[in-house]
Amino acid sequence: MSVLEANHVSIRFGGVQACREVSVAVGEFEIVGVIGPNGAGKTTLFNLITGFFAPDAGTIFYKGRDVTSMAVHDRAALGLGRTFQNVGLVKGATVAENLVTAQHLQADYGTVSGMLGSRPSIATERRLRAKADALAGVLGLGDLIDTQVQGLPYGTLKRVEIATVLATDPDVLLLDEPSSGMGPEEAHQLGDTLLDLRKTFGLSIVMIEHHVPLVVRVCDYVYCLDFGQLLTEGPPLDVRNHPQVVAAYLGEDPDPAAVALEHQLDSLVEGN
């Protein structure tokens, strides 16, 4: 039984078919990778799943419910958490403020009661802050807790973002290129962190990732997109060695006629 399911979703932006009949299923406690060259429609797929776009066709099921036309914040309330390709954080705020803001739905006091400074609201605020500190500790951000987000190095921002999305108390995590801006060493550590988080928080994870060793190591299943369509799917190693995937990433074998023409041109230039 899959926790998250996209069934034949399609969306078109003007002349571009960004997603065509894409179907993805994520099982419980599974780590699923989504790979593909730039412009393949990976992030568009995330936007469809989290609700920033409504698909032209197809349905999205989450925990057995049809969420195709549900608002982003309602899906977040159901436990769908996501990160962004170029860091989705409130950069004017500190790390702690981000972590507390992300716990918006766990602040169980009324708005007015909070504005009047009622006792329960203050107690809850203290609890949220404690959780923020704990999460920062888990991701090794303890020293940065009161630092403003703007100005932190990119790799650190990615970790802050993961901490923030964990603060929303998700069941399914959609990570958009979590290892971008990280060196190989850091990316390796990130793999450990993700495996740990799955165990500690009982998460299912979907990640868009370009760093192939990371995908092979942590993912249970991989989807490869190209030009908005599903190219192939399967266990990581199979997908990595799939001829079409290799072609999509590295380009197809060159056309013999074109090669011949190039040689001709070269010799002409040399002749001069």
Partner 1 sequence: MTAVTATEVSDEERGNSQMRPAGGGRFRPSPIGWLARAVIWAGVAYLVLVVPLGQSPTDVQQFTRGVCYAVVALSLNVMLGYVGQISLGHQAFVGVGAFTSAYMVTTQGQSFWMAVFVAAAVGGAQALVLGAVSLRIRGLYFALITLSYGLVAQDNIFEIQELTGGGAGQQAPKPQWFETEWRYYYLCLAFLAIVLYVDWRMMRTKSGRALLALRENPRVASTFGINVRLATLFAFVVSGVFAGLAGALIAHNDTQVSVDVWNFNLALVFVIMTVVGGLRSRWGLVIGGAFFALLPYLIEKIPGFDELLADIPWVPRVLTPEIAPLVIGPLLLLINLIQFPGGIGQQLRPITRWLGGHRFDIHDKGPKEVQITDVRA
Residue 149 DSSP symbol: S
Q: Where are the alpha helices (DSSP H) in 31-183?
A: 42-50, 72-77, 95-101, 111-115, 119-138, 154-167
The reply to whether 148 sits near partner 1 by the rule CB under 8 A is yes
Q: Is the alpha carbon torsion for 96, 101, 102, 103 positive or negative?
A: positive
CB of 269 to partner 1, least distance (A): 42
Among 54, 105, 130, 265, binds partner 1 (CB under 8 A): 105
The reply to whether 156 sits near partner 1 by the rule CB under 8 A is no
Q: CB–CB of 55/101 below 8 Å?
A: no
Region from 40-48, 189-197, 204-212, 226-234 binding partner 1, contact rule CB under 8 A: 40-48
Q: CB–CB of 194/163 below 8 Å?
A: no
The reply to whether 54 sits near partner 1 by the rule CB under 8 A is no
Residue 252 DSSP symbol: P
Q: Is the alpha carbon torsion for 70, 72, 73, 76 positive or negative?
A: positive
Q: How far apart are the first and last CA of the chain?
A: 68
**How many residues contact partner 1, by CB under 8 A?**
50
Residue 87 or 219: the one with the smaller Cβ distance to partner 1 is 87
The reply to whether 125 sits near partner 1 by the rule CB under 8 A is yes
CA angle at 208 for the pair 32 and 38, rounded to the nearest 5°: 140
Residue 43 or 179: the one with the smaller Cβ distance to partner 1 is 43
Residue 144 or 245: the one with the smaller Cβ distance to partner 1 is 144
The reply to whether 111 sits near partner 1 by the rule CB under 8 A is yes
Chain residues in the site for partner 1 (CB under 8 A): 43, 46-47, 50, 52, 71-73, 76-77, 81-82, 84-94, 97, 100-102, 104-105, 107, 109, 111, 114-117, 121, 125, 142-148, 150-151, 165, 168, 176
